[in-house]
Amino acid sequence: MLSKFVDPEVARAIDALPNHINEFGFDPWGFNPEQAKIYFSLAKLIFEYFRPEIHGIENVPAGRCLIVPNHSGQFPFDGLVVAVASLLRGDPPRLPRAMAERYFPTLPWVSESFARAGVVVGDPINCRNLLMDDNAILVFPEGARGCGKTWQHRYQLENFGRGFMRLALQTESPIVPVAVVGAEESIISIHSSKTISKLIGAPYFPIHPLAPILGPLAYIPLPVKFHVYFGEPMKFEGPFDDEDQAIDVKVKAVQDRVQEMINDGLRARTSIF
């Protein structure tokens, strides 16, 4: 019955993936291609809502890699757009396995749907095993700090964590830097309420400037235009368990490249719509 909601383009792309599934239709991390077709068909509608322009998708290599974008917009629409672009615009199609914050799987119905769509909890062991199985990993080194940044800090990267770099070194995986321009304007936050976030157990709670007037309607994302830039893969060498100082140098190289791509994208943009 649910097959009528499956987009043919999405179905063809997922069928083209080298899915390593068991006799029950699941891979070791709970991904189910048939259910993923439904979720990504819905995701495609959101993707088209933002009318994204995709640049450099050919830079996503075959085999294992880490896709590393900036993070913003209060809700993970940036991750959705990057994932759908990789699936539908990639040649061959790639379905990046997104690393989710531990908070999201605690929400009702989210844990199972995330797993069926290929999302996994951002655990280093999960990520390492997925890379060793030649998957593409979508990871946001800014974490929730990036997604929840306020308007006055838009397009200013939070410091990247070291975990993604250690995993790249351990698995000899290239890193694809990605810049997403447009997500910052989709949902504006002028403050993060620590009181509310603690009450609901969330990493942050954005306060929209129009929330006192519009209430929950203020959090409907604006139909801004996304611009997504996939940079050339970056390769690093060295021991994955090196001193933090040595890892930080490599991390900064990736962060600086993403910031440079963001700045270039902002200069090229003529309108947020």
Q: What is the CATH number of the domain that holds 248?
A: 3.40.1130
pLDDT at 181: 98
Q: How far is CA 243 from CA 37, 96, 124, 173, 254, in A?
A: 43, 29, 18, 19, 18
Q: For residue 272, tell me if it sits in a domain.
A: no
pLDDT at 130: 94
Q: Which domain holds residue 201?
A: 188-220
Asked if 96 and 86 count as a contact pair (C-beta separation under 8 A), the reply is yes
All residues at 6 or more sequence positions from 96 whose CB lies less than 8 Å from its CB, including other chains: 67, 82, 83, 86, 118, 135, 136, 137, 138
Question: Do 200 and 143 fall into the same domain?
Answer: no
Instruction: Check residues 272 and 145 and name the one with the higher pLDDT.
Output: 272
Residue 105 pLDDT: 61
- Nearest-10 Cα torsion for 114, 119, 125, 128: 160
**195 in the same domain as 124:** no
pLDDT in tens, 40-52: 999 999 999 999 9
Residue 196 pLDDT grade (very low, low, confident, very high; cuts 50, 70, 90): confident
> Quick one: 192 and 167 in the same domain?
no
Are 119 and 168 contained in the same domain? Answer: yes
Same domain assignment for residues 130 and 214:
no
Pair 13, 65 in one domain: yes
Same domain, 233 and 210: no
Residue 257: what pLDDT? Answer: 98
Do residues 51 and 66 both lie within one domain?
Answer: yes
Mean pLDDT across 10-24: 92
- Let me know whether 197 and 73 are in one domain: no
Mind listing the pLDDT tens digit for each residue in 244-265? 999 999 999 999 999 999 999 9
Q: Are residues 54 and 181 in the same domain?
A: yes
Q: Among 29-38, 119-128, 151-160, which stretch is predicted with the lowest mean pLDDT?
A: 119-128
Count of domains forming the chain: 2
Domain identity same for 52 and 138 = yes
